[in-house]
Amino acid sequence: MLSELILTTIVIGGNCFGNKNTTYENFEYDNNQIITNSFTDEFLEYLTDALLYLNALGDDLNDINIKETGLENYLEEEYSINSFSIVNNLSNSVVSQYGIKPIDINESETIFVDVNQELGREYLGCGPIAAISHLDFLAKGPKYYELVDGYNDYDELLDFYIEIASEIFAIPAEDSSITFQDGTFSLPISVEEGMRQIIKNHGLENQFSLSSDYIFPNVTSTVNIISKMKNSIDRGSPLILWEVTSILTGHFVNIYGYETFSCYDAFGNLTNKLFFKANCNPNYNDDECIYIDSEKLDDYLYCVIYVNEERQHLAIKPADYGYPCSYNNTYKTNYYSFSQFDIELETTRLRTGYVKHYDENGNFDEYRLVLSSKRQSYSQAYLAYQFNNGKILRNLSIDLARWGNAELFGNNNSTLIFYGFNSATNTWMNLYTYDPNDIPATYPVMRNFQVYLNESIDFTGFKIEINNSNSSVEERNFGRIILGSVHFYFKNVP
């Protein structure tokens, strides 16, 4: 590892906008902030000989970048496949765990125009773009609000994006010593170190670690790397992939999923093809993902950057519980197994279930998971979580909203209580008490609660409970709270 980047009589290209090439002899860039790899002659040979696999303008360059609508033609032309389907009709993606994927970024959007203006650049470059997309995901998906608490606030989000771009070393298109026609150039180590610094800036260095794998064409086996990539996605963590073009032009993309296709060739032979799903950076200005053929990764130089959660993290979406569409007036227990995390969960609920919601035209809209604490003869609702195999909670995040403005919560006699289960005393401890009237009736915009637990106590469970001191005479359900996503963070590292 050297503290300088030395390129000798090679060609550099702008990494986001195609093959914009300028030759520099004995170019030396002193980089005091980023530690980068030494470029040996062998390494340079790989760089200059590697062919482009994925490029931001792939359709124009006739590469093998595959848009979703072009997958059928690709399979037919590349593998003589005449029919295919997704195995089990399932898509493995971080979306399945968090409901979102890393954002598609278009530098013409106002916020990114403002980022570039603040930094004095015309372009961010795909390295900083990939880092912004990934770190933005960590704030909005796994709910690491330490990164940016007000991600719906334009100014806070702008400051966060500027901070990220400032920490990642990139040679800008406007650098007076280097004349790029378009784009910027970053190395994977610069992106990795910049993201590591951002995580440290926000006090999360003990919760995340960053690592990377460099793959050399026809030298490094991709079997274990592909397995690691799939495992990361299965755990809800996207990846950053950097690939090299024919003349040292690297491009960064955000991989967020993978799909296995069951395919039949012209002779009726069955085979499976694995494709990764990614954002292009910058995007195509449409909603299509791009597919990356895993079999082609053997042929190209690339680097995979992983952001690993050191603390185990489990996200549960409202759709994951499988409860009936009714309120139970006696307590019910359900059991769940999350084998990828070695987690066994038991839930106990009272007057908690799915409710059909209809839009203003009377058409069915969606199922919502609701706790209803107020009806004739009933004045309580709760949902309790207990982890049965030694998993110790350290903190959690939960999203809540009132069903409507007229839920008949009393001004002084209704409470929303968070409890933690103390495994040592085998008791539920009151953690926080709130007035349910303070929860907004603004669904789908919900109030997020961050619950931090006393680390001197081994909490193995959490409960949300709504109480009314007097039961209602109403024959309809009131006192309703909508439950959104819940994120549990554990002490134990698997």
Q: pLDDT per residue over 345-377, tens digit each? A: 999 999 999 999 888 888 898 899 999 998 888
Task: Tell me the two tokens of residue 362.
Answer: 């009377």
For residues 134 and 195, the answer to whether their CB atoms sit within 8 Å is: yes
Let me know whether 425 and 458 are in one domain.
yes
**pLDDT on residue 433:** 94
Let me know whether 343 and 467 are in one domain.
yes
pLDDT band at 59 (very low <50, low <70, confident <90, very high): very low
User: What average pLDDT does the segment 52-68 reach?
Assistant: 40
Where does a domain end: 281, 309, 337?
Answer: 309
Q: Answer with the residue of higher pLDDT: 197 or 6.
A: 197
Let me know whether 360 and 254 are in one domain.
no
pLDDT at 177 over 70: no
Where does a domain end: 291, 309, 327?
Answer: 309
Task: Tell me the two tokens of residue 88.
Answer: 């089990």
User: What average pLDDT does the segment 97-126 reach?
Assistant: 87
Let me know whether 274 and 176 are in one domain.
yes
Mean pLDDT in the chain? 78
Give the domain CATH number at 132.
3.90.70
Give the domain CATH number at 393.
2.60.120
Determine whether 152 is exposed, middle or buried from the number of CB atoms within 10 Å of its CB (0-12, 13-18, 19+): exposed
**Torsion angles phi and psi, residue 240, rounded to 5:** -115, 130
Q: Answer with the residue of higher pLDDT: 131 or 489.
A: 131
**pLDDT on residue 329:** 93
Let me know whether 294 and 354 are in one domain.
no
Ranges 61-65, 234-238, 257-261, 490-494: which has the least confidence: 61-65
Let me know whether 117 and 62 are in one domain.
yes
User: What average pLDDT does the segment 161-171 reach?
Assistant: 89
Where does a domain end: 283, 309, 335?
Answer: 309
Q: How many CB atoms lie within 10 A of CB 99?
A: 15
pLDDT band at 341 (very low <50, low <70, confident <90, very high): confident
Task: Note down the domain range covering 365.
Answer: 313-490
- How far apart are the C-alpha atoms of 141 and 113, rounded to whole Å? 24
Q: How many CB atoms lie within 10 A of CB 251?
A: 30
How far apart, in Å, do the first and last CA atoms of the chain sit? Answer: 31
**Torsion angles phi and psi, residue 193, rounded to 5:** -70, -35
Q: How many CB atoms lie within 10 A of CB 422?
A: 16
Let me know whether 427 and 344 are in one domain.
yes
**pLDDT on residue 12:** 30
- How far apart are the C-alpha atoms of 5 and 366, rounded to whole Å? 54
Query: Given the structure tokens 């909603």, which residue do they identify?
Result: 287
SS3 333: strand
* 23 CA to centre of own chain: 38
Helical ranges in 202-268 per DSSP H? 223-234
pTM of the model: 0.70
**pLDDT on residue 305:** 95
Span 399-446, pLDDT tens digits: 999 999 989 887 778 999 999 999 999 999 999 999 999 999 989 888
User: What average pLDDT does the segment 327-336 reach?
Assistant: 94
Let me know whether 286 and 329 are in one domain.
no
**pLDDT on residue 252:** 87
Let me know whether 319 and 382 are in one domain.
yes
Ranges 36-45, 188-197, 231-240, 397-406: which has the least confidence: 36-45
Q: How many CB atoms lie within 10 A of CB 189?
A: 21
> How many domains are contained in the chain?
2
pLDDT at 450 over 50: yes
Let me know whether 400 and 436 are in one domain.
yes
**pLDDT on residue 68:** 63
Task: Tell me the two tokens of residue 381.
Answer: 């609702």
Span 288-308, pLDDT tens digits: 678 888 887 776 678 899 998
**pLDDT on residue 183:** 57
Distances (CA, A) of 273 to 216, 292, 414: 22, 11, 56
pLDDT at 213 over 70: yes
Let me know whether 10 and 45 are in one domain.
yes
Let me know whether 125 and 18 are in one domain.
yes
User: What average pLDDT does the segment 216-243 reach?
Assistant: 83
Determine whether 54 is exposed, middle or buried from the number of CB atoms within 10 Å of its CB (0-12, 13-18, 19+): buried
For residues 110 and 276, the answer to whether their CB atoms sit within 8 Å is: no
